[in-house]
A and B are shown apart, each in its own frame.
Chain A
Amino acid sequence: MALDSRVPKGPIKDKWTDYKNKINLVNPANKRHIDVIVVGTGLAGGSAAATLAELGYNVKAFAYQDSPRRAHSIAAQGGINAAKNYQGDGDSTYRLFYDTVKGGDYRSREANVYRLAEVSANIIDQCVAQGVPFARDYGGLLDNRSFGGVLVSRTFYAKGQTGQQLLLGAYSAMNRQIARGKIEMFNRHEMLDVVKVDGKARGIIARNLITGEIERHSAHAVVVATGGYGNVYFLSTNAMGSNVTAAWKIHKKGAYFANPCYTQIHPTCIPRSGDYQSKLTLMSESLRNDGRIWVPKNMEDVMAIREGRKKPTDLSEDERDYYLERRYPAFGNLVPRDVASRAAKERCDAGYGVNATGEAVYLDFAAAFDRYGTEQAKIHNITNPSKEKIKELGQEIVKAKYGNLFQMYEKIIDQNPYETPMMIYPAVHYTMGGVWVDYNLMTTVPGLYCIGEANFSDHGANRLGASALMQGLADGYFVLPYTIGDYLADDIRTGPISTDSKEFEEAEKEVKDKIEFFVNNKGTKSVDYFHKKLGKVMWDKCGMSRNAQGLKEAMVEIKAIREEFWKEVSVPGSSNEMNPELEKAGRVADFLELGELFAKDALVREESCGGHFREESAELDGPQKGEAKRNDKDFAFVSAWEFKGEPGDAVLHKEELEFKDIELKQRSYK
C-alpha cells in the first residue's frame, strides 16, 4: 500500500483553514448515533474524549489507571508553548513552526507542524476558560518563561506542575461529559486488541483489570492515545505502567509504525543508584537556565570524590571542566537536549563521572546564587554584603523558581542541593517515533486514529521542551474532532456495530489464549527479569549513540530474549482476578517485539539526526568535528514499517519529506 499523507494543497498558511472549510461534517442529530472509542486519557485522549462528547458523539473512554487524571501527562513539569507573542518579542506562528521543524532536525512533516503552531494560541485560551491556574504577573496577565533551542519567551506554565494542571483541565471537561452520559468511562481497563470489520476499525477487546473479564466494545471509529514507548528501556522517566501495547497491537493489525528509533534522552535526570532501581526521575530542563554543568578536570579529583576524600565544593574553578561551555560557547548550558545528553555521556565514558556508578555529572547553582544574591543586595540597598549574605539572598530567588525540584532531589538523593551541586545523568524520556498517521491523524487502517505521543507526526527526530503538552492538546481539542468527522460522515446510516461477529470472536479468542498461556506457563523467571534484560540491550546498543555492529547484535539478542521469555516466563495467580504480573507480562511481550523493530529502524537510518546518533555519521573535521552529521540527500524521509509476522521481517515504506517553507540547514550550537 502506498503511503498517502493527505496533506492539502495550497500555501502552508492557508492549508488548515481551507481544509476545515471543505471537509465533510456530521450533522448534530446524526452524531447521536455514532460511537467513538478513545483509548488513553492523558492530554491527547482526555481532550479528544471531552471534545468529541461536546460535539455530540457517544464516547467510550478507557484508562488502565483508576482515574483519567492519573495518566502520565500529569508528570510534565516545565510548560506549554504557544505563539501568543504576549511578551512582544517577535513571536509568531511561523517562528514557532520554524523552531519546531529545526529543533526536530528537519525530520517532521511541515504541514502538520504548521497546523500545530497555528492552533497553539487557542489551547491557552481554552485552558484559561476551563480554570487552569497558569502563572500570572502582578498586572494579572499571563507570565511566560523560555526554554532551550529558541530565541523567544513563549512557554506558559503553572509552577513546576504544568502537565498536572492541563490534565486536570481536560479531566474536568471529561467529568462534565461523564455526568451528562456522553462519555462512558472505563477505568482500570486495558485495551488488548483492536477489532477490524471489513477492513475498518470497529472496536476493541479490553480486559477489566479488577475482575479479569475480557470485554468486547464496538464503535464506528477507534482513537488510540496511549502515549510513548520509553519503557522499552525498562528504566525511563515514564510511569511504571506506560506501555506500547495498544500501539503495537494496532501495528500488528495493519497500522504502520514510524521512526521507532527516534527517542529523546533527557539530559537532566537523577542518576541511578543501584540494580534495584525501578524508574528514573526527571528534573525540569528549566534548571539549565541557572545551573552550570561540569565534571572535574583531573582524574585524581574524580577518584577522590568517588571515594569520599573530597567534596565537589572543594574544587576551585580551574579544577573544573564546564564541558558544555567549553564545547559550545554560543549556547553553553542551553544546548538542545540531544546535544547535552551526548556530551555528558562522552565525559562519563572517558571516566570522569562523579558518583559510584561513574554515570553522573554536576549541575551547579553556585554561580546563580552569587548572581541573584548580588542583584538582591543592590535592590535591598545592602552595602558590602558578606559572601554568606549574598548566597542566602540568591538561594531565596532560586528556591522561588525551582523549590519543588530541589525538594524532590533532596528526598531521593538525601543531599541538600543548596549546599552541594546536584548530580544528573541523561535518561530516556520521550519517544518521537510512533504510529504513522496522515494529515487527519488517521493510521493506515481506516477509522483508526492515533494522537499525542503515540503517533509520530510533529517532533521529527528531536522534540523541543514544552512541545509535548502543546501537541497532545492540539491533537485532542482542535485537530482530531474536526478531521474524524470527514470519515464518520460516511457512517451516518451504519447503525450500531454489533459485537456478535466472527471478527470480535476471533480477536477475543486470541486475547484469551495469550492470557491463559501466561498463567499456565509455570516458567522459572519473573516478567521483570526479562524486562530488565531487554532494557540493558536497548540502553547499551540502541541508546545515546548507535553503530551498525551494535544494532545488528541488538536485533539478535532481543530475539533471543523474546524466545526465552515465551519459554520461561512465570506469572503467578489466575486470569480472572486483579493480577498486576499478568498485566506486565502482556506489556513486556510487546516491548520484546518493538525492541527488535527499533534496532532495525536505527540500523537502516545510517545518518545522525536529532536523538538518533550514528557513530558512523559524524563530522570528521572542521569546526563541527565530532558532531552529528545529517544526510538530507538519502534520509529526508519518514520510515513507516509494515508488520509481516515477525518484527524483524517488517517492510519499510518511505514517506519523502518535502521542505517548501524552510531551508534545510546543519544545526550548529558552537
Chain B
Amino acid sequence: MNLTLKIWRQKDSSSKGQMVDYKVTDISEHMSFLEMMDVLNEQLVNTGEEPVAFDHDCREGICGMCSMYINGEAHGPDRGITTCQLHMRMFKDGDTITIEPFRAAAFPVIKDLVVDRTSFERIQQAGGFISVNTSGNTQDANSIPISKIAADEAMDAATCIGCGACVATCKNSSAMLFVGAKVSQYALLPQGRVEATERVQNMVAQMDLEGFGNCTNTGACEVECPKGISLDNIARMNRELMKASV
C-alpha cells in the first residue's frame, strides 16, 4: 500500500517543531508500524536527510519505550498493544497517517517523536519500592502466605510498562493510572503494607510536583493502556491517600 505520513519534526527541546509530510510506497500489510517507520528512515538516509527519531527497543510490547501518538490515539488504532505491536493491516492503501509525540507538560519533547519521561522516574524514586536490603538471610519466600487473589491483583497492577500512554491520552495529562498501579501493587501485598502510608503520600506529592493533572474519571487511560491496567487502581490509590491523611 501507499501512504502519506504527517510527522512531527522538532530538532531539539528548545526548537519549534512542525508537521512534515512524507510518502512511503509498497508497504506490506504484514509489516509492523515501526518497520514501516524503518522503511521511511532508510529512504531518508539514502537521500541524505535526517531520519525521524523515535523511541523503541524490545519491539515486542514489554519494554515501554515506544510512544507514538498515531491518528489521535496513543499507540494507534488497536487495543491492548503498544506501537511496536501495531501492524499495517490496520490501515489501507491511500491513507494519511498523523504521527505525533506523546504530549504532556511533564513529557517535554527531546527530538521529533522522542519525549522525556524522567518525571516517571522521579515518582518511582519518591517511594515506589519496599525498603529491604539484599542479604542472603531474608526470610523464606513461603513464610508469609499471600492469598492467590491478592497476588493475582498485585500482578495485574504490576504489569504496567511505564510507557505513558495514560498521560498522553488523558485530557488533564494525569499520571494517576501509572501511580495508582504502583501504589496498588505494594498496597495489596503484606510486604508492602509496612510503608504504605508514606509511600502513597510521597509518590502523589512528587506526581503533583512534576505537573501532571488530576483525574476526572473519563476512563480514557484504561481504554488506551496497552496492558489494560484497571481504573480500580486509581480508586485504590485515592483510598490509600485518604487513609494516610486521617
Interface residues of A (CB under 8 A from B): 47, 50-51, 54, 65-67, 69-72, 74-75, 84, 86, 119, 122, 124-131, 133-142, 158-159, 161, 164-165, 168, 171-173, 175-176, 178-179, 185, 187, 210, 237, 239-241, 273-274, 276-279, 281-282, 407-408, 411-412, 414, 477-478, 481, 526-528, 570, 572-573, 577-578, 580-581
Residues of A within 8 A of B51 (CB): 572, 580-581
Identity of the chain A residue whose Cβ is nearest the Cβ of B27 in the assembled complex = A276
| CB closest chain-B residue, reference A529 | B42
Residues of B within 8 A of A (CB): 11-12, 28, 30-32, 34-35, 38-39, 42, 44-46, 48-51, 53, 55-65, 78, 80-81, 85, 87, 89, 110-111, 114, 116-118, 120-121, 124-126, 128-136, 138-142, 145-148, 151-152, 154-155, 158-159, 161-162, 185-186, 189, 191-192
B31 contacts across to A, CB distance below 8 A: 274, 276
Q: How far is the CA of A237 from the CA of B58 in the complex (A)?
A: 8
**Residue contact A276 to B39, C-beta cutoff 8 Å:** yes
Asked whether, in the complex, the Cβ of B12 is within 8 Å of the Cβ of A572, the reply is no
Interface centre among B55, B136, B141, B151 (most CB of A within 10 A): B141
- The distance in angstroms between the C-alpha atoms of A131 and B128, with both chains bound, is 11
Check A240/B59 contact, CB under 8 A, given A67-B162, A136-B146, A179-B125: yes
Q: Is there contact, CB below 8 Å, between B64 and A69? A: yes
A-side contacts of B65, CB under 8 Å: 65-66, 70
Shortest CB-to-CB span from B237 to chain A, Å, is: 16
B207 CB to nearest A CB, Å: 15
Assess the A239–B53 pair: CB atoms within 8 A.
Answer: no
For B87, the chain A residues whose CB sits under 8 A away are: 411-412, 414
List the A side residues contacting B131 at CB < 8 Å: 176
CB pair A138 B148 closer than 8 Å: yes
Q: State the Cβ distance, B236 to closest chain A Cβ, in Å.
A: 15
Contact assessment for B162 and A74 in the assembled complex, using a CB-CB cutoff below 8 Å? no
Cross-chain contact A125 with B57 (CB below 8 angstroms): no
B contact residues around A240 at 8 Å (CB)? 56-59
Contact in complex: B38, A130 (CB < 8 Å)? no
By the criterion CB–CB under 8 Å, are A570 and B45 in contact?
Answer: yes
| A-chain residues with CB within 8 Å of residue B57 when the two chains form the complex | 65, 70, 72, 239-241
Q: How far is the CA of A125 from the CA of B28 in the complex (A)?
A: 48
Instruction: Please name all residues of chain A whose beta carbon is closer than 8 Å to the beta carbon of B110 when the two chains form the complex.
Output: 210, 578
Contact status A136-B148, CB under 8 Å: yes
Docked CA distance A72–B57 (Å):
8
Residues of B near A241 (CB, < 8 A) are 57
B159 CB, nearest partner CB in chain A, Å: 6
Instruction: Name A165's contact: one of B30, B44, B158 (CB within 8 Å).
Output: B158
Tell me the bound Cα distance from A412 to B56 in angstroms: 17
Q: How far is the CA of A50 from the CA of B125 in the complex (A)?
A: 13
Chain A residues within 8 Å of B151, by CB = 133-136, 140
Bound: A122/B139 CA distance, A:
9
Write out the residue numbers on chain B whose beta carbons fall within 8 Å of the beta carbon of A137.
148
A481: which B residues are within 8 A, CB to CB? 134
How far apart are the CA atoms of A84 and B147 in the complex, in Å? 20
Q: A173-B129, A175-B124 are in contact. Are A279 and B158 (CB under 8 A)?
A: no
Contacts of A273 in B (CB 8 A): 28, 30
Contact partner, B158, options A168, A210, A526, A580, Cβ 8 Å: A168
**A86:B38 contact, CB within 8 angstroms:** no
Q: Are A74 and B146 touching (Cβ within 8 A)?
A: no
Given contacts A125-B138, A140-B145, A408-B61, contact A526 B46 (CB under 8 A): yes
Question: In the complex, how many angstroms separate the beta carbon of B141 from the nearest chain A beta carbon?
Answer: 4
Task: Pick the most buried of A136, A414, A528, A573: most chain B CB atoms within 10 A of its CB.
Answer: A136
Tell me, in angstroms, the Cα distance from A407 to B125 when the chains sit together.
33
B134 with A72: CB separation less than 8 A: no
In the bound assembly, the distance between CA atoms of A637 and B155 in angstroms comes to 43
Indicate whether A131 sits within 8 Å of B189 (C-beta atoms), given known contacts A66-B116, A526-B42. yes
With A54-B134, A131-B191 given, is the CB distance from A528 to B42 under 8 Å? yes
Complex: how many Å from CA A465 to CA B104?
A: 41
Determine if B111 and A164 form an interchain contact, defined as CB atoms under 8 angstroms apart.
Answer: no
- Give 3 nearest A-B pairs by CB, closest first: A140-B145, A172-B129, A128-B141
- Extra 14 A-B pairs, beta carbons < 8 Å, given A140-B151, A239-B58, A526-B46: A133-B185, A136-B148, A164-B62, A165-B158, A172-B128, A175-B128, A178-B125, A241-B57, A274-B30, A279-B60, A411-B85, A412-B32, A570-B45, A572-B50
| Chain A residues within an 8 Å CB radius of B121 | 67, 175, 178, 185, 187
The residue of chain B having its C-beta at the shortest distance from the C-beta of A185 within the complex is: B121
CA distance in complex: A124, B139 (Å) = 10
Q: Which residues in B have their C-beta under 8 angstroms from that of A138?
A: 148
Nearest chain B CB to A132's CB is how many angstroms away? 8
- Which residues of chain B are within 8 angstroms of A72 by Cβ–Cβ distance? 57-58, 63
In the assembled complex, the CB of A136 is this many whole angstroms from the nearest CB of chain B, namely: 4
A572-B64 contact in complex given A128-B141, A278-B59, C-beta closer than 8 Å: no
User: Could you say which residues of chain A place their CB within 8 Å of the CB of B129?
Assistant: 130, 172-173, 175-176
Check B56–A130 contact: CB distance below 8 A.
no
With CB as the reference atom, state the residue of chain A lying closest to B67.
A66
Q: Within the assembled complex, what's the spacing in Å between the Cα atoms of A488 and B185?
A: 38
CA A404 – CA B87 in complex, angstroms? 17
Q: Is the CB of B141 within 8 A of A84?
A: yes
Q: Are A140 and B147 in contact (CB under 8 A)?
A: yes
Contact of B140 among A125, A239, A526, A577 (CB under 8 A): A125
Q: How far is the CA of A572 from the CA of B47 in the complex (A)?
A: 10
Question: Which of A69, A130, A281 is in CB contact (< 8 Å) with B132?
Answer: A130
Name the contact of B28 in the complex, choosing from A66, A173, A274 (C-beta under 8 A): A274
Residues of A within 8 A of B136 (CB): 119, 122, 478
Q: Which residue of A lies closest to B112 (CB)?
A: A578
- A526 near B45 with CB under 8 A, answer yes
Q: A407, B117: Cβ atoms under 8 Å?
A: no
Which of chain B's residues have a CB closer than 8 A to the CB of A54? 133-134
B46 cross-chain contacts in A, Cβ below 8 A: 526, 570
Given the complex, which residues of A lie within 8 Å of B34, measured CB to CB? 278
Smallest beta-carbon distance A306→chain B, Å: 16
What are 6 A-B pairs at a CB distance below 8 A? A130-B132, A172-B129, A176-B125, A274-B30, A276-B28, A578-B110
Nearest B residue to A163 by beta-carbon distance?
Answer: B62
Residues of A within 8 A of B45 (CB): 526-527, 570, 572, 581
- The answer to whether A573 and B50 touch across the interface, beta carbons within 8 angstroms, is yes
Cα A137 to Cα B57 in complex, Å, equals 34
